[in-house]
């Protein structure tokens, strides 16, 4: 392959990025600017023109999918020689290095890699050996803290030096130390170890580091804005000698701060490498000019970025469509109407369209509307709302209340949340009901007759039966929302999620909050409605098997999941203050800038048509909250917004662009918290306690109860009343 064919079809900036060889290079690649093509052609140029041997190139991507795509493109460009290159994820590269040199850090080359579940099992063992209460010290929470420490390259010894007087961190330090011992004894690494141990290997063995520095004459890293501290150190160690480091990324698309990504890594590249060349890829091949102009207008309001301006040779295209809705049901109905219109009048496939939202819980209203309109869909990056574990769990409790013969639902919840009724006990109960020919619920009434049950299991099962009876009594005078809230509290389900204290647990709490909204909305619409009718309605919403069309499905996903994808038509819903941007970002400039980058990422997924929607009010925590449009909408120039789909055009646009009347209140949603430190509160189960911790903007408070310890309680779920103010 000659120079001409490698550069064929590249624009001027892409050609410069491919042919600038020698020394550090920062390629600022805007959305849809062809960065994967540039990377593969640059590698081909190094091999064919610069005569760099294939084993002298290390190309790092973030996903196996991206690595495989790059390998396929390279094979098409340069043939089988591509197989001699290291094109892989960070973790895959580290495994190859550690296999060769594990003995240098006390392991043998046959080490195993533990996934998250394996790690949690081992952490449970550590917590048990240290005689700690797993309810107070959740394995998942401790695992997350250890993971963060490893990403910062802090082993147990270093972590222990930084705990200070923090009691919780001291406990984690002890668990971390024992965990490391057990991992070494098992000859195992977890995913975070693969990075940290490789850095440790290089830092403590100069000869091994030099070997890889001389081996990899050129290091290329994709999505550099998503690197964490450990990845940053690893890359710079490898490139330190020859300084032939090419990083590709876009600060405007850095949206993973919550999982350790540090935008400073790309923003400070020129500080790390003063001799670096910087090339901007600003020609977008994906979106229309109007969509790009609107997206640029939003992102320019961030200060933590590298200045660039996307442009396209495509025609201007449609303006950004603005959808104003009364509430989430109206929003879902209007979005669905537009989807149907695109399908029928523009001949788009459902698979050409995507609906994006800030959190998974927002999908519920649009899912219900799609089902009602016989539109098939699929969810990426998450499970359908009513198929999520926490939703199925609470539905199972409700189903048992109306149908005691529902063995399937009862079996699902008999040990959820965990109450010491394990597989062995459940198997014995199963044998018993088969022999007697009775239902599982009937068996609970004579549970003492089941042979072989331990005393602890028997006691727990009897308590479980009494709890179900209390639920049945409570149901007689309760709305659907009230009985649902009662079950969530009395079962300890919410308490278990609060103790877990992870992002996943918080997401599950958000989904349960959305489910409470569903129940409250049902109660509003059906004052005389019953739990049976509610469950029937939900069942109809979820029964979509008869008309799913595999080849043509609308796509639903979070904005985070949409990164790297593109669609002819994109709908971004929920653009209100407190929804998007999320309420947790309202008091933090760093968080707000990340939310704005997330908006930019969402907008630049659209190729031809972009729809942005907001609702005047939403059902939140069982009550109606009046909302104001997102600041991101106000950052888009009026001439690029098409508001023709809303009846009150001037009124809607006037909110964004006109001066607001004096004294008008901006109703931004923040979780209301009527409690203060020192308040004495009464809990139905635990009695009187004292509020000992409140975090601004959070719905969770900590209350100390005599003889019960400190409990974390969500103010929107917990049955609390104030006894006296501080």
Residues marked active site are found at 35-36, 222-223, 253, 605
Cis-peptide, bond into residue 417, ω within 30° of zero = yes
Closest CA to 368 of 502, 521, 181, 180: 521
Give the length of the chain.
726
Q: Is 269 helix (H, G, I), strand (E, B) or coil?
A: helix
CB-CB contact of 670 with 324 (8 Å): no
Judging by beta carbons within 10 Å of its beta carbon (0-12, 13-18, 19+), is residue 658 exposed, middle or buried?
Answer: exposed
Q: How far is CA 310 from CA 293, 544, 604, 666, in A?
A: 8, 41, 10, 33
What is the distance of C-alpha 585 from the center of its chain?
Answer: 15
Tokens 């739990």 -> residue: 531
Beta bridge partners of 595: none
Dihedral (Cα; 417, 423, 425, 430), 10-degree rounding: 110
Residues in contact with 377: Cβ distance below 8 Å, sequence separation at least 6, in sequence order:
350, 367, 370, 553, 554, 555, 556
Dihedral (Cα; 507, 513, 516, 518), 10-degree rounding: -70
Q: Is the dihedral of CA 156, 161, 162, 163 positive or negative?
A: positive
Residues in contact with 687: Cβ distance below 8 Å, sequence separation at least 6, in sequence order:
705, 706, 708
CB-CB contact of 356 with 573 (8 Å): yes
**SS3 annotation, 179-215:** HHHHHHHCCEEEHHHHHHHHHHHHHHCHHHHHHHHHH
Dihedral (Cα; 458, 463, 469, 475), 10-degree rounding: -140
Distance separating alpha carbons of residues 95 and 97, to the nearest angstrom: 5
CB-CB contact of 151 with 195 (8 Å): yes
Residue burial 373-410, b: 16+ Cβ < 10 Å; e: rest: eebbbebeebebbbebebbbbbbbbbbbbbebebbebb
What is the distance of C-alpha 19 from the center of its chain?
Answer: 38
């Amino acid at each position: 392959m000659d120079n001409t064919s490698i550069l064929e079809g590249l624009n001027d900036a892409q050609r410069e990025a491919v042919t600038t060889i020698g020394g550090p290079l920062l390629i600022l690649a805007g959305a849809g600017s062809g960065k994967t093509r540039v990377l593969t052609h640059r590698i081909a140029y190094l091999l064919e023109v610069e005569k760099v041997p294939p084993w002298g190139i290390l190309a790092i991507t973030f996903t196996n999918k991206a690595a495989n795509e790059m390998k396929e493109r390279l094979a098409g460009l340069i043939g089988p020689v591509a197989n001699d290159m290291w094109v892989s994820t960070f973790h895959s590269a580290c495994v190859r290095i550690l296999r060769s040199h594990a003995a240098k850090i006390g392991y043998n080359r046959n080490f195993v890699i533990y996934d998250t579940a394996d790690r949690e099992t081992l952490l449970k063992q550590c917590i048990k050996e240290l005689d700690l209460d797993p309810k107070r010290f959740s394995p998942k929470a401790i695992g997350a803290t250890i993971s963060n420490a490893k990403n910062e390259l802090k082993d147990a010894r270093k972590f222990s030096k930084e705990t200070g007087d923090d009691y919780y961190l001291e406990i984690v330090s002890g668990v971390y130390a024992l965990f490391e011992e057990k991992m070494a004894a098992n000859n195992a690494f977890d995913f975070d170890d693969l990075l940290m141990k490789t850095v440790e290997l290089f830092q403590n063995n100069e000869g091994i580091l030099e070997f890889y520095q001389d081996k990899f004459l050129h290091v290329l890293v994709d999505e550099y804005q998503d690197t964490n501290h450990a990845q940053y150190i690893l890359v710079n160690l490898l490139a330190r000698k020859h300084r032939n480091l090419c990083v590709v990324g876009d600060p405007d698309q850095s949206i993973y701060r919550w999982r350790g990504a540090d935008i400073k890594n790309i923003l400070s590249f020129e500080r790390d490498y003063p001799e670096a060349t910087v090339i901007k890829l600003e020609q977008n091949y994906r979106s229309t000019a109007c969509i790009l102009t609107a997206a640029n207008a939003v992102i320019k309001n961030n200060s933590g970025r590298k200045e660039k301006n996307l442009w396209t040779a495509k025609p201007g295209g449609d303006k950004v469509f603005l959808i104003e809705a009364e509430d989430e049901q109206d929003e879902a109905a209007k979005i669905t109407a537009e989807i149907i219109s695109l399908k029928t009048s523009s001949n788009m496939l459902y698979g050409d369209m995507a609906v994006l939202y800030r959190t998974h819980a927002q999908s519920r209203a649009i899912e219900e509307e799609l089902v009602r309109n016989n539109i098939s869909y699929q969810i990426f990056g998450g499970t359908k709302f009513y198929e999520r574990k926490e939703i199925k769990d609470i539905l199972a409790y409700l189903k048992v209340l109306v149908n005691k013969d529902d063995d399937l639902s009862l079996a699902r919840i008999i040990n959820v949340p965990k109450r010491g009724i394990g597989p062995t006990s459940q198997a014995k109960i199963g044998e018993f009901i088969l022999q007697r020919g009775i239902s599982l619920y009937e068996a609970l009434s004579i549970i003492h007759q089941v042979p072989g049950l331990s005393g602890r299991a028997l006691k727990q099962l009897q308590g479980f039966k009494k709890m179900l009876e209390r639920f049945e009594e409570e149901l007689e005078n309760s709305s659907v929302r009230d009985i649902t809230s009662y079950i969530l509290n009395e079962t300890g389900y919410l308490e278990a999620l609060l103790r877990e204290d992870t992002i996943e647990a918080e997401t599950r709490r958000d989904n349960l909050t959305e489910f409470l909204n569903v129940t409250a909305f049902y109660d509003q619409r059906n004052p005389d409605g019953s739990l049976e009718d509610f469950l029937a309605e939900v069942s109809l919403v979820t029964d979509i098997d008869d008309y799913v069309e595999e080849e043509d499905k609308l796509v639903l996903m979070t904005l985070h999941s949409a990164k790297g994808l593109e669609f002819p038509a994109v709908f971004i819903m929920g653009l209100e203050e407190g929804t998007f941007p999320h309420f947790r970002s309202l008091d933090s400039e760093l968080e707000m800038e990340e939310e704005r980058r997330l908006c930019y990422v969402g907008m630049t997924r659209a190729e031809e048509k972009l729809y942005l929607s907001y609702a005047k009010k939403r059902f939140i925590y069982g009550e109606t909250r009046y909302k104001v449009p997102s600041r991101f909408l106000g950052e888009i120039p009026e001439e690029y917004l098409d508001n023709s789909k809303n009846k009150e055009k001037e009124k809607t646009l006037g909110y964004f662009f006109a001066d607001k009347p004096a004294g008008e209140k901006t109703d931004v949603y923040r979780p209301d918290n009527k409690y203060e430190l020192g308040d004495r509160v009464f809990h139905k189960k635990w009695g009187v306690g004292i509020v000992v911790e409140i975090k601004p903007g959070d719905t969770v408070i900590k209350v100390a109860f005599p003889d019960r310890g400190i409990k974390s309680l969500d103010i929107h779920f917990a049955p609390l009343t104030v006894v006296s103010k501080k």
